[in-house]
Amino acid sequence: MSSSRLLSLSLLAVVAGTVSQSAFATVPYTENFTTDAANWRDGAGAASATWVASGGPDGSGYVTTTASAFFLDDGDPVVLFRGQDGFDSSGDAFVGNWISSGINQFSFWVKHDAPVPVDFFIRFATAGNFPGTAADRGELIAPNTWTKISYEIAPSHINEYLFPEGPPSFYTSTFGSVGNIQVGYSVPTGFGSVNQSFNFSLDQPSIQTPEPTSAFLWMSFAAIAFVRRCRAA
């Protein structure tokens, strides 16, 4: 994603909440959209995303919306879904300091019926909607099939697939106080001339901490190293 596209995305994401954030997000957490849209909204942020009771990747509920790229330029960002602090999306389970909470994984499932593969992105931002950090690997998602997209949230991936909307310090500003999550796609080549809306669906946005086994092994190695240091003293 180019710097000009990031600027466009920053300007596009104008819907912001001002509710104070909790210190920690709920970890682990997956929004399954079991009974409704869980206060996730469409791209404009004015209406709830459409809830569908069944048919998600595991057969359960999901949310969907329609969007058109008519008159947009190739590569322009189109926001499809908003899970935001100001909307109390998912009961603010995603809201808080992801760094101190140890959150290092974000994943979600998407499906679309556009006639060509589509590049989806995620934008994370504070409740004030800036600063923000976009996540985009440039993966092209084939139509008409549920596909899972996952990101490791770590500073080592800055400018690889995590793109702070400003200096690298914006990464810390964003993930130290996450308030908004926005899911969208980049306009495919030539789509700006297509006067047609397509369906885009979302399910199971999820945050995770490192695997318990990995954490246990790390603590075990640390304990062994400590004992060895004590014996050598």
Using left for φ > 0, alpha for ψ between -120 and 50, and beta otherwise, residue 10 falls in alpha
pLDDT, tens only, 173-185: 999 999 999 999 9
Kindly state the tokens that stand for 122.
């995620």
- Using CA of residue 163, residue 165, residue 168, residue 172, what is the dihedral sign? negative
Percentage of residues in the chain having pLDDT higher than 70: 80
pLDDT classification of 223: cutoffs 50, 70, 90: very low
Look-up: residue for tokens 């322009």?
Answer: 76
pLDDT over 90 at 23, yes or no: no
Contact 162, 171 (CB under 8 A): yes
Residue 191: which residues within 8 A CB-CB, separation 6 or more?
Answer: 69, 72, 74, 114, 116
Residue 23: which residues within 8 A CB-CB, separation 6 or more?
Answer: 96, 97, 100
pLDDT classification of 218: cutoffs 50, 70, 90: very low
The confidence score (pLDDT) of residue 17 equals: 37
pLDDT, tens only, 119-132: 999 999 999 999 99
Average pLDDT (220-227) is: 40
Residue 130: which residues within 8 A CB-CB, separation 6 or more?
Answer: 10, 16, 165
The confidence score (pLDDT) of residue 210 equals: 85
pLDDT, tens only, 117-168: 999 999 999 999 999 999 999 999 999 999 999 999 999 999 999 999 999 9
- Could you give the number of structural domains in the chain? 1
Domain assignment of residue 132, given as a range? 3-232
Distance of alpha carbon 92 from alpha carbon 39, whole angstroms? 10
Average pLDDT (44-56) is: 98
Q: Where residue 189 sits, what CATH number does that domain have? A: 2.60.120.260
The confidence score (pLDDT) of residue 160 equals: 98
pLDDT, tens only, 51-75: 999 999 999 999 999 999 999 999 9
